Amino acid sequence: MRRIGVLTSGGDAPGMNAAIRAVVRKANYHGVEVYGIYHGYEGFIQGKMELLDLGSVGGIIQRGGTKLYSSRCAKFKEQKYQLQGIEKMKDAGIEGLIVIGGDGSFRGAYALADLGLKCIGVPATIDNDVPGTEYTIGFDTALNTVVNAVDKIRDTATSHENTFIIEVMGRHSGNIALWSGLAAGAESIIIPEEPYDIDEIIARIKRGEARRKKHSIIIVAEGVMPASELARMLKEKSGIDMRITVLGHIQRGGSPSAYDRVMASRFGAFAVELLLEGKTRRAVGIKNNQLYDYDLQEIFKTEQKNTSGLYTLSKELSI
């Protein structure tokens, strides 16, 4: 293999740049050229790409977002556009593609691999919800962003003796809510994977008040309900007024943490190795700190991370 392509797709995640850098440097180390394809599958269809030399990925390891830009491209789901993109790649002499993104992007890579283009997926999404891997690039940075925000909100909540509801991202997954809630010492955490009980949340707030707690923090994953809806339900049953913060897109930005830079470097370099071994329709995964590759078909399985251990712990520690 003499020339490969790399693109970033779907929701961006801190560490995508570090992964691009790793792909370019590792491939160059093996004498393979890398073309950066702009705007995800949108640019793939149009053949919008540029040669990335060693210097072009200098000074980006610490930058959030993605140098190659990202997109959500609905028409890419149609085979005729997938074939159009593959033709553009053939014309440019590109023999393999590394797709950095979440499970939606992996579905696209799966389709391309089935049409004959060698494809490897690198999991990158702040939600940490890609089936087949314990970790996705960006999760650690997003968690730190949320925890910093919750710490600040707790300061003001304490001063005013308020109860705050903080809504965090995660699509259908409660990973960000659960991990950040545990790390920030939230009184209640509401995630899609575990049932919740409004009466119990109210009882927790009241128990806290009874022992003169100055504040209460509730973290709700966006996949369960909006913070405003939860505030309405709690107010209706208990009469307590809640303050609301929706953290929104700050969770997707920022300089990647050291951990995400290391993981992105490992994932990106490993993806190049897989392509050079002639592998296709595979994704990079990690478990117990060991990298491995797995069939992209696994993303079609509905797999939920086991949350019960951490969830129970969070309840035990926030009585």
The CA-atom distances, in angstroms, between 85 and each of 44, 45, 177, 197, 318 are: 5, 4, 38, 49, 52
Which of 73, 122, 184, 283 binds ligand ADP (CB under 6 A)? It is 73
Which of 125, 144, 251, 307 binds ligand ADP (CB under 6 A)? It is 125
Region of 285 please: left (phi>0), alpha (psi -120 to 50) or beta: beta
Buried/exposed code over 90-123 (b: 16+ C-beta within 10 A; e: otherwise): eeeebbbbbbbbbbbbbbbbbbbbeeebbbbbbb
Pairing status of strand 49-52 against strand 33-37: antiparallel
Which of 21, 25, 26, 107 binds ligand ADP (CB under 6 A)? It is 107
Residue 312, number of CB atoms within 10 A of its CB: 11
Residue 103 vs 298, nearer CB to ligand ADP: 103
Nearest residue to ligand ADP, scored by beta-carbon proximity: 104
Residue 11 binds ligand ADP (CB under 6 A): yes
Q: Catalytic residue positions? A: 127
Return the beta strands (E) in the chain as ranges: 3-8, 33-37, 49-52, 96-101, 118-123, 163-168, 188-190, 216-221, 243-246, 282-287, 290-295
163 has which bridge partners?
216
Residue 104 binds ligand ADP (CB under 6 A): yes
Residue 8 vs 163, nearer CB to ligand ADP: 8
Residue 41 binds ligand ADP (CB under 6 A): yes
**How many residues contact ligand ADP, by CB under 6 A?**
17
Q: In the bound complex, what is the minimum distance in angstroms from residue 58's beta carbon to ligand ADP?
A: 27
Residue 46 vs 318, nearer CB to ligand ADP: 46
Residues near ligand ADP (CB under 6 A) are 9-11, 41, 72-73, 76-77, 101-105, 107-108, 111, 125
Annotated binding-site residues read 11, 21-25, 72-73, 102-105, 125-127, 154, 169-171, 185-187, 211, 213-215, 222, 243, 249-252
